[in-house]
Amino acid sequence: MSDISIREEGRAGRITLARPGALNALTYDMVLEIEAALDRWRAADVALVIIDAEGDKAFCAGGDIAEMYASGLRGDYAYGRQFWRDEYRLNAKIFEYPKPVVSFLQGFTMGGGVGVGCHGSHRIVGESSQIAMPECGIGLVPDVGGSLMLARAPGVTGAYLGLTGFRMGAADALYAGFADHFVPEANWNSLKSALIQGDLDLVSRMATPLPQGTLLGLQAHISRHFSNPSLQAIADSLAEDGSDFARDTLKAMSRNAPMAMACCLDILNTLDGETQIRPALDLEFRYTYRAMAQGDFIEGIRAAIIDRDRQPKWAQSGPAEVTRDQVCDMLAPLGIDALNWKDMP
């Protein structure tokens, strides 16, 4: 059985992720198939694109990184770098696509799932939606264009989301800019049927308002601590605060790679005011290109996915050990190895 279903129905191009048993984790072949379909439909008689997924647990819980880990463990970094290079090109194509792209984001939407599902024009969440960028927990920075979304979130909410991996329900995803509409999941099939006929206006007509989520109520805490200029200053600020928020936030950050968190902050600061995705992907690729050879990615995957001991041995034991020179080394321009946009439309 194929991992993905790509077809045309009525006026819609349809892409359905079909690995529900693996939480629809994105494989390299799936990345290439989605890109090929979008390229084909660009000039075809297709009015819009629908991206959805099978199962009720996840739209897409991330990238399938088993092969990336195995090759990186052997000292072969080429596969991972090519995966990221091609995946980021797909993320840019979705963000810049000239036709409406409607995504249905049930359950977990994380990492690579954000890159496929959260850059389109109409991003729909429902009751089960849980959206997050937890990459710092495996020694990466929020990528697949997610850094741009974090940078554009209200105030310094993006820094909080990136450094903690906080899971956003539907209301929080709308507030942070990761989604556009809440539609009850019981109505999704009828909405898709209308979209196949080309009725895009029904998305907004079926959208339902939601009560306030968690993030809005945390803004005073988030602003107080995450407005600080460095990872160490944020950690110090939280440590001096005896609130439940500070305690829980420090606990979440303590699980993550200090280098990844410091680089995440640097990327978000660089992207302040940015509206286009390519500069974000360029910065992300500087980190991911080096993540296996110079960063904590291999150890992060070992602890989280392979051995599952949840006890990573990060290169730096805490924020105080991350130097400015180390951050600059991880985010330095890649020269001839940088992302190449010449084949983009």
Q: Residue 190: enclosing H or E segment and its boundaries?
A: helix 188-196
Please give the pLDDT value at position 2: 86
**Tens of pLDDT, residues 151-199:** 999 999 999 999 999 999 999 999 999 999 999 999 999 999 999 999 9
Question: Annotated catalytic, 217?
Answer: no
Mean pLDDT (the chain) is 96
Catalytic residue (choose from 64, 135, 172, 266): 135
Please give the pLDDT value at position 345: 79
Residue 65 has pLDDT above 90, yes or no: no
CA angle (215, 217, 220) in 5-degree steps = 100
Catalytic residue (choose from 107, 111, 112, 295): 112
Please give the pLDDT value at position 326: 97
CA dist., res. 131 & res. 107, Å (int): 8
CA dist., res. 93 & res. 339, Å (int): 14
**DSSP for residue 95:** H
**Tens of pLDDT, residues 67-102:** 888 898 898 999 999 999 999 999 999 999 999 999
Average of pLDDT values for 242-269? 97
C-beta of residue 64 within 8 angstroms of C-beta of residue 111 = no
Q: CB-based contacts of 279: which residues, under 8 Å, 6+ apart?
A: 148, 271
Question: Annotated catalytic, 56?
Answer: no
Question: Annotated catalytic, 143?
Answer: yes
Catalytic residue (choose from 13, 63, 72, 111): 63
Residue 322 has pLDDT above 70, yes or no: yes
As a whole-number percent, the residues of the chain with pLDDT over 90 amount to 92
**Tens of pLDDT, residues 103-160:** 999 999 999 999 999 999 999 999 999 999 999 999 999 999 999 999 999 999 999 9
Q: Residue 89: enclosing H or E segment and its boundaries?
A: helix 78-95
Q: What is the separation of C-alpha 304 from the centre of its chain, rounded to a whole number of angstroms? A: 18
Q: Which amino acid is at 167?
A: R
Q: CB-based contacts of 149: which residues, under 8 Å, 6+ apart?
A: 114, 118, 158, 176, 177, 178
Question: Annotated catalytic, 55?
Answer: no
**Predicted confidence band at 66 (pLDDT cuts at 50, 70, 90)?**
confident
Residue 259 has pLDDT above 80, yes or no: yes
C-beta of residue 65 within 8 angstroms of C-beta of residue 291 = no
CA dist., res. 298 & res. 300, Å (int): 5
Catalytic residue (choose from 87, 143, 172, 296): 143
Residue 49 has pLDDT above 70, yes or no: yes
Please give the pLDDT value at position 1: 54
Residue 51 has pLDDT above 70, yes or no: yes
